[in-house]
């Protein structure tokens, strides 16, 4: 994050001083310590390495196949951590921050910050939840219907039953290795690599803000092409079925990548895309219609989408997530994006 220099915006400050400050900020933003070609090449290499290392235990290290799903996923977790560490080191090296002694500044490049934590976590979740208005209506309808079917006379017993079910559900997920993959390892490592490492490189490579928002998710989507190989060769899906499944995934990841890239650049915090990623993984695809809700879910989904678009910029105003805009560097694009 930007260095917290003492504020010079006193009432007695001259207009020329303020103008010089704005000019210096724009110059800092315009500085590109690396070329655009190097930035794109580095991003492509990070995306390739993030996927390729998943297959290294058997193809390169010649380790025996894992005996269970748990051991298989734990092995992949370790590979994702190694890939993330390599990407972080590479990003900092290319930006010339390898020898910087200011550790908070180094972490701030990646969006890892200790300030404005609750804003970076709460506001993006509230904003993202608007997309799932139809899902909330559909799930609420199911809960009410189930409660009616079980009878109201045992309402107090039902509360206790639902409490135990919720506890059992949490315990089961805590022991589920796939839950750890979907809600912990994947969101953190993917956002760290594809947003925290790649976007600062592209910003400092001189690319425009909207070019990065709309084009950088290509790296994120291409990293999911390995799913086609797994479906086609390992799970023996037909070519067309595997193609349709992966095509849908790629389309979804591109749209999702637009949103998380937007969040990262606007807020300057890695927490925002991470919590949005976890929330979307928990909710799945948004429900746009449900026959049992008699059109209520569709109306809610449409209203939620309108609200999301209306609040997209106000809810991600950089002033809500950053205290100062002095001393901005090329990776602090939010300094010039109000």
Task: Identify each DSSP E strand in the chain by its residue range.
Answer: none
Q: Calculate the alpha carbon distances from 221 to 94, 110, 249 in Å.
A: 24, 20, 8
Name the nearest CA neighbour of 228 among 212, 239, 217, 214.
239
Contact 88, 192 (CB under 8 A): yes
Per DSSP, the residues of 162-198 read: HHHHHHHHHHHHHH-HHHHIIIIIHHHHHHIIIIIIH
pLDDT tens digits in sequence order for the chain, 338 residues long: 444 333 333 333 344 434 333 433 443 444 457 899 999 999 999 999 999 998 888 888 888 888 898 999 999 999 999 999 999 999 999 988 866 667 777 888 899 998 899 999 999 999 999 999 999 999 888 877 777 766 554 555 555 666 677 777 778 778 899 999 999 999 999 999 999 999 999 999 989 999 999 998 888 887 777 777 778 777 788 888 888 888 888 888 899 999 999 999 999 999 999 999 999 999 998 998 888 888 899 999 999 999 999 999 999 999 999 876 656 788 888 887 76
Tell me how far the alpha carbon of residue 187 is from its chain's centroid: 6
Q: Give the separation between CA 195 and CA 110, rounded to whole angstroms.
A: 8
Number of neighbouring beta carbons within 10 Å of residue 273 = 30
**Which pLDDT score, from 0 to 100, does residue 189 have?**
96
Considering Cα of 184, then 315, then 104, then 41, what sign does the dihedral take? positive
Q: Which residues are catalytic?
A: 190, 224
Cβ partners under 8 Å of residue 162, min gap 6: none
Angle between helices 36-52 and 69-94 (to 10 degrees): 160
Name the nearest CA neighbour of 81 among 111, 49, 113.
49
**Which pLDDT score, from 0 to 100, does residue 65 have?**
85
Q: Which two tokens stand for residue 19?
A: 């103008």
Name the nearest CA neighbour of 329 among 28, 93, 113, 33.
28
DSSP state of 63: P
**Which pLDDT score, from 0 to 100, does residue 317 have?**
94
**Which pLDDT score, from 0 to 100, does residue 19 have?**
39
What is the per-residue burial (b if ≥16 Cβ within 10 Å, else e) of 102-122? Answer: eeeebbbbbbbbeebeebbbe
Contact 192, 205 (CB under 8 A): no
Cβ partners under 8 Å of residue 242, min gap 6: 228, 231, 232
**Which pLDDT score, from 0 to 100, does residue 327 have?**
65
């Amino acid at each position: 994050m930007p260095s917290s220099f003492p504020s010079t915006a006193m009432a007695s400050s001259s207009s020329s001083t303020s103008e010089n400050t704005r000019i210096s900020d724009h110059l800092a933003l315009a500085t590109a310590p690396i070329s655009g070609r190097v930035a794109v090449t580095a991003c492509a290499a990070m995306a390739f390495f993030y996927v390729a290392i998943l297959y290294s235990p058997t193809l390169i290290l010649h380790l025996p196949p894992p005996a269970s799903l748990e051991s298989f996923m734990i092995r992949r977790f370790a590979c994702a951590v190694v890939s993330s560490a390599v990407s972080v080191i590479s990003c900092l090296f290319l930006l010339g921050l390898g020898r910087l002694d200011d550790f908070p500044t180094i972490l701030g490049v990646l969006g890892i910050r200790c300030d404005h934590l609750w804003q970076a976590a709460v506001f993006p979740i509230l904003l993202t939840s608007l997309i799932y208005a139809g899902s909330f209506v559909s799930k609420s309808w199911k809960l009410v219907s189930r409660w009616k079917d079980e009878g109201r006379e045992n309402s107090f017993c039902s509360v206790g039953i639902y409490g135990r079910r919720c506890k059992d559900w949490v315990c089961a997920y805590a022991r589920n290795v796939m839950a750890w993959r979907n809600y912990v390892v994947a969101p953190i490592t993917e956002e760290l690599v594809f947003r925290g490492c790649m976007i600062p490189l592209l910003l400092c490579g001189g690319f425009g803000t909207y070019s990065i928002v709309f084009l950088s998710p290509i790296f994120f989507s291409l990293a999911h092409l390995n799913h086609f190989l797994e479906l086609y060769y390992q799970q023996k899906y037909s070519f067309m079925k595997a193609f349709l499944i992966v095509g849908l995934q790629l389309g979804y990841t591109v749209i999702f990548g637009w949103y998380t890239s937007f969040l990262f650049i606007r807020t300057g915090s890695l927490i925002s895309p991470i919590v949005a990623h976890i929330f979307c993984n928990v909710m799945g695809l948004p429900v746009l219609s449900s026959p049992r809700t008699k059109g209520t879910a569709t109306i809610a989904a449409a209203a939620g989408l309108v609200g999301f678009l209306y609040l997209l910029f106000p809810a991600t105003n950089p002033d809500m997530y950053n205290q100062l805009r002095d001393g901005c560097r090329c990776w602090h694009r939010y300094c010039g994006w109000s």
